[in-house]
């Protein structure tokens, strides 16, 4: 359940509660509020980045993480502008800002590549999503995907389709653009222990069997079986 | 499938044989990727950028097949590489977050970074910082690096011998031993005693592990296993063969499932 993310004492990057424990479930009206230190925020950004990089399909969008990271970066930039030319401190902070910015932009770029690659399927999934489920596209990404689709259709029409015989002037992008291959193999590291994960057989002679995933172990397995675990954060793709 | 006179095996992420659209070709990686395991024109998730050039579009084989070009063909630059590849530089980026001890020669009070606090710096007193900062300070000649305690000739010899004896992978002293060795020995070899021997020892260990990895990947594919457990493998090793291995497995899966013309196999229809 995705609720609001609240950062502990975000001013000046000062982690007043540096030792603060991670999460408090504050259920009011069914939404949980997660309290994260900035360090945990950066770590969850990196986790989201790695997961997005290695997953064959577009994963859920994480608007809270992105907003909080951007807020932290802006904050830090503003502080640096005001700070005096204490050369070393300023450059250290700046280096860190660059590093975080790299992860953030790589994450967003990865998502855009996937949107461009699978645009009809992404839009279809978004259309047929149930009310309470989390969205896989942020509002800006959704606008981008729609525009991309419209541009592609217009381009195909103007370049080729209108010169075709009239009964062949339709193309179904949903059928012609390849779907994400959910059967691809991925490497993963287990963060929370899982039991009884079904492993499907490759050949007809083998039978399916179940395995347990120990915490901290690494595996190579098909993406389809563990897709819900990635979404819930129980495993990390590497 | 022949495209442009070059045989490209299973170009694109195609689950059926006749796709009208084709995924935009990724930019060819310009970085030197030592041991990154990227082989030639492997299809699947990352077709190599083909030299279509100019207006070679017209060379479509079938009358009703046309190539779909992404907008990036028209001057906006090549499309970025497909997601599922981690460059060695990115593995190094992750390794740079590890903590290492330095002895500064300047003084500074606590820095509150977004990712954590870094302790007060006093000249002559050791302090722990992440590797990216340590390397930077060393380049500015503001500190002296202390090698991690596993970076020592006897220890590494032990590890290497252990690795050679066992059939499986032994746990490594650090999940980023390769990247740390490279970084520290490149930038701070004067602070590390017997740097060359250490380099050789780490390389030997790396070679043994990669050989084991190759063997086990080979048997994995041969016996068509569905799952493998790879504890004690570090990120760099996984990246070296990972991309090639997963793409090869995907191809084999596609070949296998297309043997039986099931309900999912489309012929050339619209």
Interface of A with B in 158-187 (CB under 8 A): 159-160, 164, 168, 170-173, 175-181, 183-187
| Torsion B183-B211-B251-B234 (CA) sign | negative
Average of pLDDT values for B249-270?
Answer: 69
Residue B266 binned pLDDT confidence (cut-offs 50, 70, 90): low
On average, the pLDDT of chain B sits at: 73
Q: How far is B189 from chain A (nearest CA, A)?
A: 23
**Per-residue model confidence (pLDDT) at position A22:** 36
Burial label, B86 (beta-carbon count in 10 A; 0-12, 13-18, 19+)? buried
**Per-residue model confidence (pLDDT) at position A170:** 85
**Per-residue model confidence (pLDDT) at position B49:** 43
Angle B177-187/B235-257 helices, nearest 10 degrees? 140
Structure tokens at A196: 């009884």
Average of pLDDT values for A31-36?
Answer: 63
In order of A68, A70, A182, B101, B115, the CA distances from B239 in angstroms are: 30, 29, 20, 27, 26
Tell me: pLDDT of A115 over 90: yes
Tell me: pLDDT of B21 over 50: no
Highest mean pLDDT (candidates A9-23, B9-23, B45-59, B124-138)? B124-138
Task: Report the share of chain A in percent with pLDDT over 70.
Answer: 86
| pLDDT, tens only, A46-95 | 999 999 999 999 999 999 999 999 999 999 999 998 887 777 889 999 99
Average of pLDDT values for B124-152?
Answer: 92
Q: Do A38 and B114 touch (CB under 8 A)?
A: yes
| pLDDT, tens only, B66-80 | 333 333 333 333 333
**Per-residue model confidence (pLDDT) at position A119:** 93
Please tell me the distance from the alpha carbon of residue B270 to that of residue B267, in angstroms, as a whole number.
9
Average of pLDDT values for B47-65?
Answer: 44
Per the model's pLDDT, the better-predicted residue between A84 and A162 turns out to be A162
Interface of A with B in 88-127 (CB under 8 A): 88-89, 92-93, 95-97, 99-100, 102, 109-110, 113-114, 116-117
Please tell me the distance from the alpha carbon of residue B236 to that of residue A66, in angstroms, as a whole number.
27
Q: Residue B3: which of B39, B48, B46 has the closest Cα?
A: B48
Please tell me the distance from the alpha carbon of residue A193 to that of residue A191, in angstroms, as a whole number.
7
**Per-residue model confidence (pLDDT) at position B143:** 92
**Per-residue model confidence (pLDDT) at position B254:** 83
**Per-residue model confidence (pLDDT) at position A33:** 59
Tell me: pLDDT of A171 over 70: yes
Q: Residue B139: which of B184, B174, B182, B173 has the closest Cα?
A: B184
Please enumerate in sequence order all residues whose Cβ is within 8 A of that of B221, keeping only pairs 6 or more positions apart, or say none: B245, B248, B249, B252
Tell me: pLDDT of A41 over 70: yes
Average of pLDDT values for A187-198?
Answer: 87
B242: contact with A, CB 8 A cutoff: yes
Best mutation target, B115, B141, B253, B255, to test chain A (most A CBs within 10 A): B115
**Per-residue model confidence (pLDDT) at position A5:** 54
Q: Residue A15: which of B108, B101, B128, B111 has the closest Cα?
A: B111
Q: Is A133 helix (H, G, I), strand (E, B) or coil?
A: coil
**Chain A residues with CB-CB distance to B133 below 8 A:** 92, 95
Cα B215 to chain centroid distance, Å, stands at: 19
**Chain B residues with CB-CB distance to A100 below 8 A:** 114-115
Three-point CA angle A75, A79, A80, nearest 5°: 115
Are the CB atoms for A104 and A45 separated by under 8 Å?
yes
Q: Do B224 and A110 touch (CB under 8 A)?
A: no
Average of pLDDT values for B108-137?
Answer: 91
Interface of B with A in 80-139 (CB under 8 A): 80, 82-84, 86, 93-94, 106, 108, 111-118, 132-133, 136
**Range from A55-59, A95-99, A212-216 carrying the lowest mean pLDDT:** A212-216
Chain B residue with minimal CA distance to A237?
B84
**Per-residue model confidence (pLDDT) at position B105:** 93
Structure tokens at B223: 């016996």
**Per-residue model confidence (pLDDT) at position B230:** 86
Per the model's pLDDT, the better-predicted residue between B171 and A132 turns out to be B171
Residue B267 binned pLDDT confidence (cut-offs 50, 70, 90): low
CB-closest option in B93, B226, B245 to A201 = B226
B45: contact with A, CB 8 A cutoff: yes
Tell me: pLDDT of B242 over 50: yes
Residue A6 binned pLDDT confidence (cut-offs 50, 70, 90): low
**Per-residue model confidence (pLDDT) at position B264:** 54
DSSP B153-181: HHHHHHHHHHHHH-SSPPPPSSTTHHHHH
**Per-residue model confidence (pLDDT) at position B28:** 34
A51: contact with B, CB 8 A cutoff: no
In order of A115, B50, B87, B241, the CA distances from B28 in angstroms are: 20, 9, 12, 18
Per the model's pLDDT, the better-predicted residue between B12 and B54 turns out to be B54
**Range from A2-6, A16-20, A232-236, B49-53 carrying the lowest mean pLDDT:** A16-20
Interface of A with B in 121-150 (CB under 8 A): none
**Chain A residues with CB-CB distance to B233 below 8 A:** 218
Average of pLDDT values for B90-118?
Answer: 90
Task: Report the share of chain B in percent with pLDDT over 70.
Answer: 65
CB-closest option in A88, A100, A184 to B114 = A100
Please tell me the distance from the alpha carbon of residue A77 to that of residue A72, in angstroms, as a whole number.
9
**Per-residue model confidence (pLDDT) at position A7:** 56
Per the model's pLDDT, the better-predicted residue between B51 and A118 turns out to be A118
Per the model's pLDDT, the better-predicted residue between B193 and A132 turns out to be B193
**Chain B residues with CB-CB distance to A194 below 8 A:** none
Interface of A with B in 24-43 (CB under 8 A): 38-39, 42
Best mutation target, A218, A219, A223, to test chain B (most B CBs within 10 A): A218
Tell me: pLDDT of A2 over 80: no
| Bridge partners for B79 per DSSP | B26
Please enumerate in sequence order all residues whose Cβ is within 8 A of that of A181, keeping only pairs 6 or more positions apart, or say none: A56, B13, B15, B45, B250
**Chain A residues with CB-CB distance to B15 below 8 A:** 178-179, 181
Q: Do A160 and B270 touch (CB under 8 A)?
A: no
Q: Residue B235: which of A218, A222, A176 has the closest Cα?
A: A218
Are the CB atoms for A112 and B24 separated by under 8 Å?
no
**Chain B residues with CB-CB distance to A186 below 8 A:** 246
Give the global pTM.
0.75
In this structure, the strands spanning B2-3 and A194-199 are: unpaired
On average, the pLDDT of chain A sits at: 83
**Per-residue model confidence (pLDDT) at position B137:** 93
């Amino acid at each position: 359940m995705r609720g609001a993310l609240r950062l502990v004492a975000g001013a000046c990057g000062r982690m007043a509660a540096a030792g603060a424990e991670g999460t408090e479930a504050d259920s009011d009206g069914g939404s949980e509020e997660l309290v994260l230190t900035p360090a945990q925020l950066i770590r969850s950004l990196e986790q989201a980045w790695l997961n997005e990089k290695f997953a064959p399909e577009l994963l859920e969008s994480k608007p809270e993480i992105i907003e909080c990271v951007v807020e932290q970066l802006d904050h830090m930039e503003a502080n640096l502008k005001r700070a005096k030319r204490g050369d070393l401190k300023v450059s250290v902070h700046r280096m860190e800002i660059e590093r975080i910015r790299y992860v953030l932009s790589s994450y967003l770029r990865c998502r855009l590549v996937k949107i461009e690659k699978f645009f009809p399927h992404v839009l279809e999934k978004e259309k047929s999503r149930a009310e309470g489920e989390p969205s896989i596209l942020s509002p800006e990404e959704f606008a981008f995907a729609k525009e991309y689709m419209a541009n592609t259709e217009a381009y195909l029409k103007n370049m080729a389709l209108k010169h075709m015989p009239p009964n062949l002037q339709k193309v179904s992008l949903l059928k012609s653009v390849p779907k994400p291959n959910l059967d691809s193999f991925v490497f993963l590291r287990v963060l929370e222990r899982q039991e009884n994960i079904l492993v499907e057989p490759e050949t007809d002679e083998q039978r399916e069997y179940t395995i347990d995933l120990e915490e901290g172990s690494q595996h190579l397995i098909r993406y389809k079986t563990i897709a819900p675990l990635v979404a819930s954060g129980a495993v990390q793709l590497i | 499938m022949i495209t442009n006179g070059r045989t490209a095996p299973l170009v694109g992420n195609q689950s059926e044989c006749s796709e009208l659209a084709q995924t935009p070709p990724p930019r060819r990686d310009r970085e030197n990727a030592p041991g990154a395991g990227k082989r030639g024109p492997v299809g699947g998730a990352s077709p190599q950028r083909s030299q279509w050039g100019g207006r070679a579009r017209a060379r479509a084989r079938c009358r009703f097949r046309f190539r779909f070009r992404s907008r990036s063909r028209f001057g906006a630059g090549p499309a970025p590489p497909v997601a599922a590849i981690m460059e060695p530089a990115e593995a190094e980026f992750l390794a740079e977050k590890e903590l290492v001890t330095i002895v500064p020669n300047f003084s500074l009070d606590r820095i509150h970074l977004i990712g954590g606090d870094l302790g007060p710096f006093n000249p002559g007193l050791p302090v722990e910082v992440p590797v990216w900062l340590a390397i930077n300070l060393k380049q500015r000649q503001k500190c002296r690096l202390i090698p991690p305690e596993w970076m020592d000739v006897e220890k590494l010899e032990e590890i290497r011998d252990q690795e050679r004896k066992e059939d499986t992978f032994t746990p490594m002293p650090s999940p980023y031993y390769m990247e740390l060795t490279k970084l520290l020995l490149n930038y701070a070899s004067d602070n590390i005693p017997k740097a060359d021997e250490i380099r050789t020892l780490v390389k030997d260990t790396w070679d043994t592990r990669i050989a084991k990895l190759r063997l086990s990947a080979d048997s994995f594919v041969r016996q068509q296993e569905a799952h493998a457990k790879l504890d004690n493998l570090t990120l760099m090793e996984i990246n070296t063969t990972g991309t090639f291995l997963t793409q090869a497995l995907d191809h084999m899966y596609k070949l296998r499932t297309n043997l039986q013309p099931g309900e999912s196999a489309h012929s050339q229809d619209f």
